[in-house]
Amino acid sequence: MDDLIDGRCGWCGTDTLYIDYHDNEWGRPVLDDRTLFEFLILESAQAGLSWLTILRKREGYGRAFHDFDVERVASMTDADVERLMQFEGIVRNRLKIKSTITNARLFIGIQAEFGSFLDYIRSFFSDGTPVVHEYRRLEELPVASAESDAMSRDMKKRGFKFFGTTVCYAYLQATGFIDDHLTACRCRAGVANRQPVSEELRCYVESAIIPRYSAFDKAHREEHVRWVIEQSLELASHYPSVDMNMVYIIAAFHDLGLVSGRENHHHDSCKILESDNFLKARFAPWQMRVMGCAVEDHRASGKEKPRSIYGMIVADADRMIDPETIVRRTVQYGLANYPDLDRDAHCRRVAEHLENKYGPSGYLKIWLPWGRNVERLGELHAMMSDKEKIDAFIYDIFDEENASR
C-alpha cells in the first residue's frame, strides 16, 4: 500500500466513501456525547472486520439503534435483539448487538460519574488535548498506545464488551483524540497551521466583523478584539495541532453577542458564528461546531472547563490581566450602569470585583501555561495584598474616568 494517494493517507485508497471519511471525520475532534456514542457503537461492531465494511452499514446502524440515542438504546430488550438479528443493515452478530445495549447502559453510568463521556475520555490525556504523532509512513502507525491501554482496561473493568486496546485506539483516532494523519497528508491539521491565516478570512473579518465592535461599550471595542486576536494567535503557536484559521475566527467572533446584551453574550456569539454563511462555505461542519463551542466557552465566569484547546486559547487570550485596564473597565461599566452610586460605593464595587474575579480564590482561571497571564496574575495578587495601595490606585482611576464623562 502506498503511504500517500493523491496527497492523502494511503489507507483510504480511492473509495469515495473512505476518502470522505478520511477528509472530513478521521482525526477531527468530536466534542458531543451523541457522536462519541455513535463511534463507540461503530468501532465495537468493527472488531474482527474492516472499517470500510462498517462505514457502508453506518446508515443501517443509525436506523437499528435509534439514531444513536443512548437512552433509547439502553432501554432496548431481548425482543429488539431478535428483531435486529433479521435486519440486514447491520452486522448480524448476536453478541455484538447485545453488547451495544450493555455498553449504552454503561455509557450513561460514565456520563453520570464524569459529567460527560467526553470528560471521561479526557481523563486519560494529561492536558485534555489531542496527541499529534509525527509519522511519515503507514507502517509506523501503532495499533495501541498508553492512553488506549489505560482507557480500554478501565472500560473492561466497568463491563464494556468488544472494546480492547486496539479497538479503543481506533476509536481515539476516529474521534480526534489521536491525530495519526501522516505528516505530508493534505488533511493533517499541522500542514495548514504552518501557513499564515487566510488573506480571504482576514479581509472578511476586517471589513465585516471588527467594525461591529464599535457599537459596544469602551471595554469591548475594536482595540479589545484586536488584542484577543493577537493573543490567541500567540498562544496557538505553542500547539502545532491547532488550525490557525479557526483560532483567528474564534477570536474575531468571541464578543459579537454583546449586540444583544452582556448576560448571554457568549451563547449569542456562538449563534452568530454558527449561522455565518461566509464561514459555512469555507469550514467543514465539524470545524463550525468546534468554533461555536469555543466562543461559547470563553467567558471568565463560566463554571466548566472549555471543551477544547480552542476554547482554552480564546478564554486565556480574553483575559487582559493588566491592573489599570481591569480597574478602568470596571469603573467605566459602573459609571454607565450604576449612576446613583457615590464615589466610595463605586470604588468598593471595583475592589469587590477584583477580589471575586482575580483574587487567589477568584473565579477566573488560566487554562494554559503559556503567555504572560500567569505572571501578570501573580503580580496582581501581590498588588491586591496591599490594601492601601490598591485602594489609592482604584480611587485615582475612578476620578480620572468620572472627570472625563
Strands 8-9 and 131-132: unpaired
Q: In what helix (H) or strand (E) does residue 4 lie, and over which residues does it extend?
A: strand 4-5
Name the active-site residue from 25, 43, 274, 296: 43
Closest CA to 367 of 325, 326, 310, 405: 310
Q: What is the DSSP secondary-structure string of 135-177?
A: --SGGG--S--HHHHHHHHHHHHHT--S--HHHHHHHHHHTTS
Q: d(Cα 183, Cα 136) in Å, to the nearest integer?
A: 5
What is the chain's alpha carbon radius of gyration, rounded to the nearest angstrom?
A: 25
Specify whether 82 is catalytic.
Answer: no
End-to-end Cα separation, the chain, in angstroms? 72
Helix (H, G, I), strand (E, B) or coil at 5: strand
Handedness of CA 202, 206, 212, 217 (dihedral sign): positive
**Of 51, 286, 333, 370, which is the active-site residue?**
51
Query: What residue has cell string 471589513?
Result: 207
Question: Cell numbers at residue 126, please?
Answer: 494529561
Q: Going by C-beta distance under 8 Å and a sequence separation of 6 or more, which residues neighbour residue 191? A: 183, 184, 185
Which residue has 476509536 as its cell numbers?
A: 171
User: What one-character DSSP code corresponds to residue 196?
Assistant: P
Residue 139 annotated to the active site = no
- Residues recorded for the chain: 405
367 included as an active-site residue: no
C-alpha 256: how far from chain center = 19
Choosing from 21, 286, 333, 370, the catalytic residue is 21
* Cα angle, residue 264 at apex, residues 384 and 346 outer, rounded to 5°: 35
Residues 6+ apart with CB under 8 A from 102: 159, 160, 161
Burial (CB count <10 Å: 0-12, 13-18, 19+), residue 35: middle
- Measured distance CA(336)–CA(262) in Å, rounded: 13
Catalytic residue numbers, as ranges:
21, 43, 51
